[in-house]
Amino acid sequence: MVSNNIALGHLPQKEVNQLVRVISTMGLLPILLIVIVAALSIFEPRFLGIFNILNVLRETSFLAILAAGQMLVLIVGGFDLSVGAVVALSSTVMATVMANTLGIMPDEVGLVIFIGVAAGIGCGVVVGLVNGLCVAYLRVSPFMVTLGTLSIASGIALLLTNGIPVYGMPKVFVNGFGRALWLGLPTTVYVALTLVIIVWAIQRFTVLGRYIYAIGGNLQASQVSGVSTKRYLITAYTMCGALAAITGVLLTARVGSGQATLGGDIMMLQSIAAAVIAGVSLRGGIGRVELVTLGALFLSIVTNSMNLVRIDSKIQTIVLGVIVIFAVALEEYGNRRKIRE
Amino acid sequence: MYKDSDQVLDTVISSPANTGEEVPSSSILEMRGISKQFPGVLALDNVDFDLRRGEVHILFGENGAGKSTLINVIAGTFPPDKGTFRYDGKDVSHLTPHRARVMGISPVFQEFSLIPNLTVEENLFLGRETSTSGFLRKKAMSARAAKVIEMLGFDLDPKKRVSSLSRAHQQMVEIAKALLADVRLLILDEPTASLTENETYKLFELIGRLKADGVGIIYVSHRMREIKEIGDRITVLRDGRKIETCNAADVGENELVELMTGRKIDVLFPKIDHKPAEKLLEINNLTLANHVVEDVSIYARAGEVTGIAGLVGCGKSELVRAVFGLEAIEEGEIVVKGEQVSHPRPDISLSKGVCYFPSDRVAEGLALERPIRENASMAALNLADFSWMRVLKKLSERKLIQDIVDRLKLRPPNIERAVGNLSGGNRQKVMLARGLTRETDIFLFDEPTVGIDVGAKVEVYDLMKELVDNGAAIILVSSELPEVLNLSNRLYVKQRAKLVAELTGDDMIEQAVLSCFFQDEEANSNAGA
């Protein structure tokens, strides 16, 4: 149950209960989304421009993939600070690998792209694996582990590039994929949609999904019930790393060069924010990817609207911080008001 | 995993005695010379234990006697340091919880192995989901869950989340979970602690059926009546050593208590002279925000024990918690010593002389890593005896706490020990010590003897008597009927959030209380719940 209940003044008890029930099953998010979209449509005509909508969808896609991974780790009761750095690492590694292999075999563009993408995603898998292993076996707190890998991953990314963008990726990859539209929509939207559906299916229909919920709900109990908790902890972190790396790959294809400045702290914070807004519990055990996608959409729209009215990007980060704190406070409040039988 | 545990369960639960081929008296479990050392304690010292097929073997002993260590060894939670472990005629080593389950050892611990955010049926199948290549077969599992719950006769909705269930219902889920697989050795650790009479009866019926099927059952309990009712043999543990194993039919109650404590205990319940004086606490038409308590009015007078009885989950704990300021109040009035309190807060309640002893001492009572002294003085640090201008007066603190601890007969009386090392009974005494650090005349006891042994129980009861004799008002909330019936002067009975009866004098008999509970059951079935 996503429990974003709100204070409702002194309405009659029956109606309050009904409203609380609706909100706690759906979350506050859909309502917020409708309100903000309606308000923007009325007050800011540029918001509904086709170019702007595509832009919002593209941003949402990047964030949704990243936040889906973050959500998995949050559900097992941890969190991953390294996702932003993984985006940068996969971006620079992929671009470097592609540029070099293209020099060796200029005719095998397909193979070059394949190797480059595999290398990029591989980085994420490795970082995620390291995170998972440290949390599961060394029992280091997720905060410290992922703070460490954040530092390591961004260090490697900077070292690889000296901070200079890496060009030289195949043109097809950038123009035919990263910047292309299929059936009128950015390609990233399709990738994101596919990944979200896969994560959704894992959460709903598979043993893996069930165990991820169980471990976050009560680690001890899962162990006693015969769940190999370590294995699933590692799986969750690895999936998160892989999803972050995929975000890096898509961003790089869009931008056209590998950059150590992609992702970064802002995307990490946004991924946590999108998850928390969508009712993912910081204590673990609760979270649904379809709502997290809405959370990503909400954040993208908020950012987009601030861009449209030319709010300074420094102020935008302040707004992001406020939203995160507000969302967490709301979750806590909902928990306390939960009606027991 | 058990793709086809359907049949297995059917044979275990539904069909009485179809394993006639087996020799009923042969042992399923044989343990010899089991020792287990924990930092600072020898938890098990050369213990022999055996369990026959189709018997209920009671483990009896005070807290810290080694019962839970022993059942944890059997369940594979941790290995013993020494000794042999034979299961089903074969030597077993390197047991893990998972392997134990596969072998048919199903433990039901007091600390539940349930995931709060999952539903009942999801919890039942945890660790052994029915699946095809990684995908859950939800329909199949739902059907089986419904079947199991029906067979057990529990009033459980398989689609509900465990977090929304009361403790009693969670206990039922835990038992159902243990019985889902092919069970050959069932461990029940105080399973009835939160069950009602009726549910207990159903559980005992089930135990009977399992026995007939040749399942061996290890049953940990403090309750004499249960031990007499279902036990075949009893093993008494004390200080990690086995004292005796005897047939349940051959020993009397007093004898058992003597074996357990190593000393004589004459009367369990002290005779309390109630001298009701002025009303210290009044609750008028109280309704809580979560509607666990609706429109309840009670009062408590100085010099008497006011009891509150009710089924688990009827909101009797929440009622006193609300008085202390731990539950959100929607409507109603609370009057403490003639003064109306609209929004009680723990700090204000303490300063008005109201003290609450929580039932869950670990979650709500104690900082386990910290010493007894700090835990006991925690609620009184703002008093002049304990601090001056926010600076702690350690010497005075030490002396005052030592006095209280001595008065409560906490053993050993070393107040610098971490509370985490103490037994359940001693932990409760630390809680009581906290209540005694301030001038307090309204004591709210919430299940004060849950999980503590007979010896400590008597001391808690004696303290209550002393408090009442000195003119305090006590509200005693308890699920143990004998406790509230014997100690209270007046007894309120709650059912489903409402107050249904106030019993006094000769009306305060078990039958009267039970009939109030029974009304509830009827209302329940009429509502079709």
Looking at beta carbons, which residues of chain A come within 8 Å of B101? 226
Per the model's pLDDT, the better-predicted residue between B470 and B252 turns out to be B470
Looking at beta carbons, which residues of chain A come within 8 Å of B113? 218, 220-222, 224-225
Asked if B136 is an interface residue toward chain A (Cβ–Cβ < 8 A), one would say yes
Angle between helices B138-152 and B5-13 (to 10 degrees): 0
The answer to whether B115 contacts A214, with C-beta atoms less than 8 Å apart, is yes
pLDDT tens-digit map of A294-316:
999 999 999 999 888 888 888 88
Q: In which band, very low, low, confident or very high, does the pLDDT at B48 lie, cut at 50, 70 and 90?
A: very high
**Predicted pLDDT of residue B13:** 45
Pairing of strands B27-38, B82-87: antiparallel
Instruction: Say which of B127, B134, B292 has its CB closest to residue A226.
Output: B127
Q: What value does the CA radius of gyration of chain B take, rounded to a whole number of Å? A: 24
Asked if A9 is an interface residue toward chain B (Cβ–Cβ < 8 A), one would say no
Looking at beta carbons, which residues of chain A come within 8 Å of B164? 338, 340-341
**Predicted pLDDT of residue B513:** 83
CA distance A212 to chain B (A): 11
Selection from B248, B347, B336 nearest residue B299 by Cα: B336
Pairing of strands B56-60, B233-238: parallel
DSSP secondary structure of A35-70: HHHHHHHHH-GGGGSHHHHHHHHHHHHHHHHHHHHH
Q: In which band, very low, low, confident or very high, does the pLDDT at A11 lie, cut at 50, 70 and 90?
A: low
Average pLDDT, chain B: 84
Q: In which band, very low, low, confident or very high, does the pLDDT at A119 lie, cut at 50, 70 and 90?
A: very high
pLDDT at B521 over 70: no
pLDDT tens-digit map of B60-96:
887 667 888 899 899 888 889 989 888 988 888 888 8
Q: What are phi and psi for residue B189, nearest 5 degrees?
A: -100, 100
Looking at beta carbons, which residues of chain B come within 8 Å of A231? none
The answer to whether B97 contacts A224, with C-beta atoms less than 8 Å apart, is yes
Identify whether B412 is preceded by a cis peptide bond (ω within 30 of 0): yes
Is residue B138 within 8 A of residue B165, CB to CB? The reply is: no
Q: What residue of B is the nearest CA neighbor of A217? A: B115
CA distance A286 to chain B (A): 7
Cβ contacts below 8 Å, chain A against chain B, sum to 86
The answer to whether B290 contacts A208, with C-beta atoms less than 8 Å apart, is no
- Say whether pTM exceeds 0.80: no
Selection from B238, B235, B194, B201 nearest residue B217 by Cα: B235
Is residue B449 within 8 A of residue B406, CB to CB? The reply is: no
Looking at beta carbons, which residues of chain B come within 8 Å of A218? 113-116
Is residue A82 within 8 A of residue A151, CB to CB? The reply is: no
Is residue B402 within 8 A of residue B422, CB to CB? The reply is: no
**Predicted pLDDT of residue B20:** 40
Instruction: Say which of A207, A222, A339 has its CB closest to residue B290.
Output: A339
**Predicted pLDDT of residue B180:** 85
Asked if B114 is an interface residue toward chain A (Cβ–Cβ < 8 A), one would say yes
pLDDT tens-digit map of A29-52:
888 888 888 888 888 888 888 889
ipTM of the complex: 0.71
Asked if A282 is an interface residue toward chain B (Cβ–Cβ < 8 A), one would say no
The answer to whether A337 contacts B128, with C-beta atoms less than 8 Å apart, is no
- Domains of chain B, by residue range, sit at 267-353+440-529, 363-438
Alpha carbon distance A55, A88 (integer Å): 21
What the block records as the tokens of B321 is 């918690």
What does each C-alpha distance from B526 to A55, B196, B520, B529 come to in angstroms? 59, 19, 10, 8
**Predicted pLDDT of residue A4:** 42
How large is the average pLDDT for residues B135-152? 88
Selection from A80, A101, A97, A51 nearest residue A242 by Cα: A80
Average pLDDT, chain A: 87
Q: In which band, very low, low, confident or very high, does the pLDDT at B100 lie, cut at 50, 70 and 90?
A: confident
The answer to whether A336 contacts B122, with C-beta atoms less than 8 Å apart, is no
**Fold of the CATH domain A27-336:** ABC transporter involved in vitamin B12 uptake, BtuC (1.10.3470)
CB proximity list for B56: less than 8 A, separation 6 or greater = B207, B211, B217, B219, B230, B231, B232, B233
The answer to whether B127 contacts A222, with C-beta atoms less than 8 Å apart, is yes
**Predicted pLDDT of residue A142:** 94
**Predicted pLDDT of residue B38:** 75
Looking at beta carbons, which residues of chain A come within 8 Å of B122? 210, 214
**Predicted pLDDT of residue B7:** 44
The answer to whether B115 contacts A337, with C-beta atoms less than 8 Å apart, is no
Per the model's pLDDT, the better-predicted residue between B42 and B133 turns out to be B133
Asked if B159 is an interface residue toward chain A (Cβ–Cβ < 8 A), one would say no
Instruction: Say which of A210, A224, A337 has its CB closest to residue B289.
Output: A337
> What region does B332 belong to: left with phi over 0, alpha with psi -120 to 50, or beta?
left
Alpha carbon distance B152, B206 (integer Å): 7
Pairing of strands B105-108, B90-91: unpaired
Alpha carbon distance A89, A154 (integer Å): 6
Q: What residue of B is the nearest CA neighbor of A221? A: B113
Residue B334 forms beta bridges with which residues? B283, B341
The C-alpha torsion from B493 through B495 and B499 to B501, rounded to 10°, is -40
Q: In which band, very low, low, confident or very high, does the pLDDT at B120 lie, cut at 50, 70 and 90?
A: very high
The CATH number fitting domain B267-353+440-529, selected from 3.40.50.300, 3.40.640.10, 3.30.465.10, 3.40.50.2000: 3.40.50.300
CA distance B5 to chain A (A): 16
**B364-376 residues labelled b (16+ CB within 10 A) or e (exposed):** ebbeeeebbbbbb
Instruction: Say which of A1, A206, A218 has its CB closest to residue B136.
Output: A206
Selection from A305, A312, A300 nearest residue A47 by Cα: A305
Q: What residue of B is the nearest CA neighbor of A340? A: B164
pLDDT tens-digit map of A261-304:
888 888 999 999 999 888 888 888 889 999 999 999 999 999 99
pLDDT at B519 over 70: no
